[in-house]
Amino acid sequence: MQVNLRESWWIREVEIPTRLVLAPMAGVSVQAFRRQGRRYGAGLVCSEMISCAGLEHHNERTLGYLRVGADEHPLAIQVFGSEPSVMAEAARMVEAAGADLVDVNFGCPVRKVTKTGAGATLLDEPDRASRIVESMAQAVSIPVSVKMRRGLEDRSLVCLEVGPRLVEAGASTLGLHPRSAKQMYTGEADHSLTAELVSLVDVPVVASGDITSRARAQTVLATTGAAAVMVGRGAQGNPWALREIVDGGTEEPTREEVAAELILFVRETVRELGSQRASGFLKKFYGWYLGRGRFPRPFKQELVQLATTDEVVTRLYAAAPGAAEIVQRLEAELPDPDGEILLDRMPISIYGGG
């Protein structure tokens, strides 16, 4: 059965225009990444996870995550924490920032997060997890979504027990990455669990994990009954993968198209984070964009060693002169950044977590 990935679906009153969700990824999902994802077919984009403690203390770097661009909607902003009252206040701030959904991270397996009692750890504390979702759902009018893993340990089925409880507590949608926290990103995602979760709840479920092609997305949607698929690592430096999943076609981008998208990404990230922060943040993206045989390997190393982003842009134009016309067209299509919603006292050129 072929599923139309261009068909819209709903999370309560929020219409999602395609069945592709761009995953929240720490150190990746800045505004420039999300805006690019929307252009290439993502129906819903998500911020990287934000510390609710940082928001509670009005940490300037943490507040910097709450930038909302006019072209990002629908947008979910993801928060993490372990105290229901603090998470409720974080949800209020997310709603005030203009997000369409507030997402709860019950899936992060990283020690820095789990040692605080947040992330995937909460799957082993279903009562606390339910109280967190309930407090957030009662605090805001926008839908609350939850992203979770199958459990902490391999072969765990805890997601099938916790998922329905979270819906009862007020979650309007669930995202499942059916790997354990212990697995991290190794092995395969077991989407038979996704199908089971779909059968247990009456809200849309988003299938996450190993969605690497249109064929895989179609298979997962058809066999699980999920409302949408979520793509993460496959879109890093490769927005064309999103277009392939949504619309089909496997035509590789030209060198000029790759250079143009990277130049735009660099410029947008500098605008968002400031030149100093952006310079270090962007280095990992050079390999993601320029790999896959698109440019010689030494060229990536050359960009990484350049001192400023201006030098990077100059070098990209020299390597692909035809990119200039594409960049000009792309920039003309972007909305005015003055259309962003910023909270009071929110700094513009900052980045980081609390």
Separation of alpha carbons 178 and 154, rounded Å: 10
108 is catalytic: yes
Q: What is the dihedral of CA 145, 149, 150, 151, to 10 degrees?
A: -110
3-class SS of residue 184: coil
Q: What is the largest CA-CA distance in the chain?
A: 58
Separation of alpha carbons 272 and 45, rounded Å: 17
Separation of alpha carbons 6 and 240, rounded Å: 16
Catalytic residue of the set 46, 52, 108, 159: 108
| DSSP characters over 241-277 | HHHHHHH---PPPPHHHHHHHHHHHHHHHHHHH-HHH
Contacts of 278 (CB under 8 A, 6+ apart): 266, 269, 270, 272, 309, 351
Sign of CA dihedral 29, 100, 89, 129: negative
What are the catalytic residues? 108
